[in-house]
Amino acid sequence: MTTISAPTTPQKKSQSQWAVIRRQFLRNPLARIGLILLGLLYTIALLAGFLAPYGLAEYSTTDRISWAPPTKIHWTDNGRFAPHVYGVKREVDMETFRDKYVEDPAVKCPVKFFTSHPEIEGRQYRFLGVIPSSLKLFGVDAPCKLYLWGSDNYGRDQFSRMMYGSQISLTIGILASVFSLILGLILGGIAGYFGGFADTLIMRLVEVLSAIPELFLLILLRAMFPLNANPILVFYIVVGLLAFISWGGLARVVRGQILSGREQDYVQAAKALGASDARVIGQHLLPNSATYIIISLSLAIPGYILLESGLSFIGIGIVEPYASWGSLLKLAQDGGFESLDTRPWVLLPGVFIVLAVLGWQFVGDGLRDAFDPRRRR
């Protein structure tokens, strides 16, 4: 007698928790958009020196062209592809009695790609942050100017300063978040694990910091340092201040999770086996907070970008000759309503700030949904 065996159904391969989280995250369309936005912005920051045709503070002392409009690129010459620009000459608008810039067809300069001018001060940079180079993606030779997004009041190329400014605006958010994370984990872990006087002291400090508005506290602390300090020192001061005022919320959550976990059996077993306090906190208690830490880190970065932009916008953040998107946006305030009418290109830093904040918010929301089992599909 022949026996007919039932068809076996193929068993699905089990996935790890991180694989499930990654799949759920990539299913979120806004999270994918945020990843693409951040990928583009951080690529710009990484290649800023290569993309910027001019140096960060480069301007001509002989023919300064202040508030020049974006340079028009002519792509063809006598029917063939030959990108070029014309020279610029200053005239006076007889209706408004203001300077205006018009093309000078007598001066024509080709747009050169992958060009290098190592002899010009300020053109040198480190490609990918490592390799010394002066190679530029594009540029023109003097006396022509190539201002893709116009120039500022000193005649400096806004496009180049935007590229370099992305390095500070995007980096400062990550650095401040990392330092704030380290402070929050260490102090929150100490407060939750040891309790007693350490817990009281740390939590009272958190309450004091929480009671003062963030922007007011930042301005107060920044006023303790000279405004004319070294620009590199100012950068680290701003990073430190941003981290100092923001670690309290993370420390409070970490403390609560460690308080609930320090009496668990696995923690008592680790202690019985002779594990040190630092090992118990670092390898047994803090990993339980990984979900919250990852989500809070991704959602904190856009807040730091906005705070730094606010400080630079009011003139106490990043200082010359360095630039951030906030300090570049200050040009729009200095120009008043004229910025909206005659030189709208000075508003472009605000567009990049919005894109960076949206990108991090989308990624943070996607991570929050991916880590939450109730939101999985």
SS (H, E, C) 292-313: HHHHHHHHHHHHHHHHHHHHHH
The architecture (CATH level 2) of 161-375 comes to: Orthogonal Bundle (1.10)
Q: In the structure, how many helices (H) and strands (E) does the chain have?
A: 14, 7
Ordered per-residue pLDDT tens for the chain, 377 residues: 455 555 555 555 666 667 877 888 888 899 999 999 999 999 999 999 999 999 888 877 667 788 888 999 999 888 899 899 998 888 877 776 677 888 888 899 999 999 988 878 778 888 877 888 889 999 998 888 899 998 888 888 999 999 999 999 999 888 888 898 888 888 888 888 788 888 899 999 888 888 888 777 887 777 777 767 777 788 888 888 888 888 888 888 888 878 777 767 777 777 777 777 777 777 767 667 777 787 788 888 888 888 888 888 887 788 788 888 988 888 777 665 566 677 888 889 999 999 999 999 999 888 888 876 666 55
Residues of the chain with CATH 1.10.3720.10: 161-375
| Vertex 368: Cα angle to 284 and 184 (nearest 5) | 45
Segment (H or E) for 86: strand 80-92
For the whole model, what pTM was predicted? Answer: 0.84
b/e code 246-273 from CB counts within 10 Å (16+ = b): bbbbbbbbbbebbeebbeeeebeebeee
DSSP state of 229: S
Which bin fits 336, alpha (ψ -120 to 50), beta or left (φ > 0)? left
Answer yes or no: are the C-beta atoms of 216 and 324 closer than 8 Å. Answer: no
Helix (H, G, I), strand (E, B) or coil at 99: strand
